Every structure is written in structure tokens, then in C-alpha cells.
Amino acid sequence: MAVTLKDVAALAGVSTSTASRVCKDNPSISRETKERVRKAMEQLGYEPPSLPEETEQSRTIGVILPPSPRESFENAFHLEVIRGVSQFCNRHGYINTVITGEDDSELLTALENIAQSGKVDGYIVAYSKQDDPIIDYLYGEGLLYVVIGKAHRFANQTVYIDNDNILAGQEAAEYLIKLGHTNIAYLGSDSNLMFSADRKTGYRIAMENNGLKPDPENVVELPFIPEENAAAVHALLERENRPTAILVSDDIFAVALERVCIEKGISIPADLSIISFNNSLFARLTSPQLTSIDINSVQLGIEAASQLINHIENPNLLATKIIVPHRLIERSSCAEN
């Protein structure tokens, strides 16, 4: 019986569509996967059919946003990242398309359909979280991708663009400590998200380096920001030993926190100092305006697009890791204690 492409795919541990894209030397397939499939072809004696000469590659990048009903499109961070990606793509003759869904299952289905079409040359995953089926699919299929954030799995084989979020969290907490605050809380996203986990780690390092023991009740983590999650924020602000300052992992969470403070008659920064992250439009529109860590979201998008296109056009490059610097923007939401 003749050897089929399905046999090659099974031996290489990839799907038949991935093996087919290797035969066409599609740039969306990583160097390691191409080598694995070609080795399987050689081992089985498979000769790919001759293909008609193809027109030039599609020159398309897929930007994968985290699954959510609406938060991805409301978060200024993702809009800024897309702006950076688009700026770089426009200058280099690439187009980009956004891929997302309401949950992991819907997002994965959309990604599978796009990947099987072979019309996208590589992907930018605009978030990083633990145990992500999207990353598992991209890696398993040998597709070329870049992560914005720290890679949780396959780190040595993954191109990623990140901030030093541990250092940024540490500097944010130390800023509050220098203002005289010792009872400092942390309000953030679920630690399943790598950036939030690292910022919380930085907060704890700063507290311990200054002889302050973080109170477990001062750490509040929420998966998202619907109205029902305000109960956890209310509980934090109703404590008898209420914190005098809060480090918040994202400007959107800080806006929600300010809203609760207004409801409870807590004055910012007289009663409570707040420092947050992203330096988004939200930070500038609140009253008082938020002191925030600027993580250069647009630059993260530019660097991600630059690295992805570089790896598309130079498929033998090794995986690179780039750290984009951050800076503290002082405004009116923090005061001396």
C-alpha cells in the first residue's frame, strides 16, 4: 500500500493539514516542525506530489485576543497592541486580522478554521496565561506564533515579547512605601494570567524587602470585572484595618475601585492611595487621574509584529525573547501617608 500524507503526519505527530503546509513550504509552519515532517517523509519514502507554482505568500498575520464576552474589546491594552501591530504591518506590506471568541472553545474553533485555510502566515497571541489550549494547539500544529507576555509552556521554543512585570510590580509597591504606606493591598486579575501573577510577585518582594509582611486578606484577585465582583472590593475597603494604599494590576480594575470608593465616601488620595498599570486612557480620564506604570503597549505590538515577520521571512532563526521597558507616570491618585 502506498504511503500517504496521513501516514507522514501520524509519524511526525502533526495533523494532515500541517503536513500538507510543510509540503508547500508554508511560512506559518515553524522550522522545528518542518524538519520533523521532512524527516518523517524521508523515513517513510514519501514523495510529495509536484505542486503548481504558487503566487506570493498571503502576508497576513493573525492577532489572537483572549477569549471573553466583551472585555477584550473594552480593554485599552489590546487596542494599543493592535495599533502597534498595524503600524508595523502597514510599513512592511502585511495585513492583520483579529481572532477571538467568547470562550476557549469558540476561539479554538475559529483558530482551527483559519489555520486549516493556510492563509495566515503567523500569529500574535496578545496575552499569556497558564494551561492555555490555544498555545497547545499552535505548538502542537507547529504553527509560527509570538506571545505578548511571558511564555508559560514551551518557553525555550517560543518567541515572546514582555515587560519585566516582577520588577514593575516591585517598583510600584516601593513607590507607595516611600510615601510612608505600610498597609498596602494588591487588587488584580486572576493569577492564571502571567502578567498579574508577576506583578503580585513584585508587590510581595517589595513588601518583604522593606520588612513588611503582606497580609493575605489584602490580596484580592478577580477573573473579570462584572458588577457582582464588587463585593470583594467592598469587603477589602470595609476591613477594620483598611489598607491606606492599593496596588492595582490594571487601569480598568482601578476605575472599578475608584467607583466603589465614591460609593463609600472614601477620598482619593486623602484616605486611599491608588497606583495602577498600563497608563491607558482610563488613567487619564478618572478623577483624580491615576498614577500608573506605563508598559508601552504600542511598542509591545510593534515588537511582536517585527519578530513575527522576521521569523516568517527568516525561518531558521532561533526563538527570541524581548523585554520592553516600563516607566512610572506620577499623577494625583497617591499621597503621603
- Please list the residues that pair with 28 across neighbouring strands: none
| Amino acid, single-letter form, for residue 107 | L
Task: Determine the pLDDT at residue 232.
Answer: 85
For 163-197, what is each residue's pLDDT tens digit?
Answer: 999 999 999 999 999 999 999 999 998 878 999 99
Q: Return d(Cα 240, Cα 249) in angstroms, integer.
A: 24
Q: Return d(Cα 327, Cα 165) in angstroms, integer.
A: 11
Task: Determine the pLDDT at residue 226.
Answer: 45
Give whole-number Cα distances, 298 to 121, 293, 320, in Å: 22, 14, 19
What confidence category does residue 70 fall into, taking pLDDT thresholds of 50, 70 and 90?
low
**Residues 287-293: what's their mean pLDDT?**
95
Give the CATH class of 60-163+297-323: alpha beta
CB-based burial label for 42 (10 Å; 0-12, 13-18, 19+): exposed
**Which residue spans within 81-216 are E strands per DSSP?**
95-99, 122-125, 145-148, 159-162, 184-189
Q: Return d(Cα 222, Cα 326) in angstroms, integer.
A: 24
Q: Return d(Cα 60, Cα 98) in angstroms, integer.
A: 11
What percent of the chain is modeled with pLDDT above 70? 93
**Residues 190-206: what's their mean pLDDT?**
93
| Amino acid, single-letter form, for residue 7 | D
CATH architecture of structural domain 165-295 = 3-Layer(aba) Sandwich (3.40)
Task: Determine the pLDDT at residue 227.
Answer: 54
Instruction: For the chain, give every residue range classified as CATH 3.40.50.2300.
Output: 60-163+297-323, 165-295
- H/E stretch holding 174 reads helix 165-178
**Residues 34-59: what's their mean pLDDT?**
74
Whether the per-residue pLDDT at 291 is higher than 60: the answer is yes
Cα angle 213, 128, 168; round to 5: 40
For 89-127, what is each residue's pLDDT tens digit?
Answer: 999 999 999 999 989 999 999 998 888 887 899 999 999
Rounded to the nearest integer, the mean pLDDT of the chain is 89
What strand order describes the sheet that includes 60-64? 95-99, 60-64, 122-125, 145-148, 159-162, 321-323
SS3 assignment, position 263: helix
Whether the per-residue pLDDT at 266 is higher than 50: the answer is yes
